[in-house]
C-alpha cells in the first residue's frame, strides 16, 4: 500500500531534475541523491527514481549524438566562408555569409528540433511528477534503461 510519503518522494525525484536551472548537473545530482537515500522506502519510489535517472542519461546521450552530427556542419560552413587573402596582415580578411548553404539550413533545422525536444522533456517530467503524485507508474518515452 502506497502512502503519501512515498508518493511525495517519487514526485520530488522527478521534479528535482529542474534543479539543473540552478546547479550545474543538477538534473543528475538531484534525482540520484534523492533516489539513493530513499530507494529502500518502497518499490514505487525505487522504480520512479530509476525512470527519472534513466531519462536524464538518455537525454544526455541523445544531445551528445545530435551535437556530434550538427556542430561539424556549422563549423565547416563558418570556416568555409572565411577568406584569407593576406594571412600576415589581415588587410583583406572578411567573412562571407551572404549566401547560406544547405548545411546551415540543416543546422538551423536541428536547432529547431532541439527546442521542440526541450519542450517535450519538460512536458514528460511534469507528466511523470503528476503520475507519481497520483500513485501511478510512469515510463518515460524513448528512455534507455541504464539502471535496471
| 71 inside domain | yes
Task: Count how many domains the chain has.
Answer: 1
Q: How far apart are CA 137 and CA 133, in angstroms?
A: 10
More confident residue, 51 or 104: 51
Domain housing 95: 4-133
Give pLDDT, residue 2: 86
| 104 inside domain | yes
More confident residue, 86 or 74: 74
| 65 inside domain | yes
| 75 inside domain | yes
| 148 inside domain | no
Give pLDDT, residue 102: 72
Q: What is the pLDDT of residues 78-113, one digit of tens each?
A: 666 555 554 555 555 555 566 666 777 777 888 898
Residue 46 has pLDDT above 90, yes or no: yes
**Cβ neighbourhood burial of 76 (10 Å; 0-12, 13-18, 19+):** middle
Give pLDDT, residue 15: 95
Residue 75 has pLDDT above 70, yes or no: yes
Residues 6+ apart with CB under 8 A from 92: 83, 85, 86
| 102 inside domain | yes
Give pLDDT, residue 60: 94
Nearest to 17 by CA among 148, 118, 135, 134: 118
| 141 inside domain | no
| Residue 5 pLDDT level (bands cut at 50, 70, 90) | very high
CA dihedral 122, 58, 60, 103 (to 10 degrees): -90
| Residue 148 pLDDT level (bands cut at 50, 70, 90) | confident
Q: What is the mean pLDDT of the chain?
A: 85
Give pLDDT, residue 37: 95
Give pLDDT, residue 108: 80
| 140 inside domain | no
Amino acid at each position: 500500500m502506497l502512502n503519501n510519503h512515498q508518493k511525495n518522494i517519487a514526485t520530488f525525484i522527478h521534479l528535482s531534475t529542474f534543479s539543473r536551472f540552478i546547479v550545474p548537473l543538477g538534473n543528475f545530482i538531484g534525482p540520484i541523491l534523492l533516489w539513493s537515500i530513499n530507494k529502500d522506502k518502497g518499490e514505487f519510489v525505487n522504480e520512479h527514481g530509476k525512470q527519472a535517472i534513466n531519462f536524464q542519461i538518455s537525454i544526455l546521450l541523445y544531445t551528445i549524438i545530435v551535437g556530434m552530427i550538427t556542430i561539424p556542419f556549422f563549423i565547416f560552413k563558418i570556416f568555409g566562408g572565411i577568406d584569407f587573402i593576406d594571412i600576415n596582415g589581415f588587410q583583406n580578411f572578411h567573412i562571407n555569409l551572404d549566401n547560406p548553404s544547405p548545411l546551415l539550413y540543416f543546422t538551423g533545422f536541428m536547432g529547431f528540433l532541439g527546442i521542440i525536444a526541450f519542450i517535450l522533456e519538460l512536458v514528460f517530467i511534469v507528466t511523470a511528477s503528476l503520475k507519481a503524485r497520483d500513485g501511478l507508474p510512469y515510463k518515460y518515452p524513448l528512455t534507455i534503461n541504464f539502471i535496471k
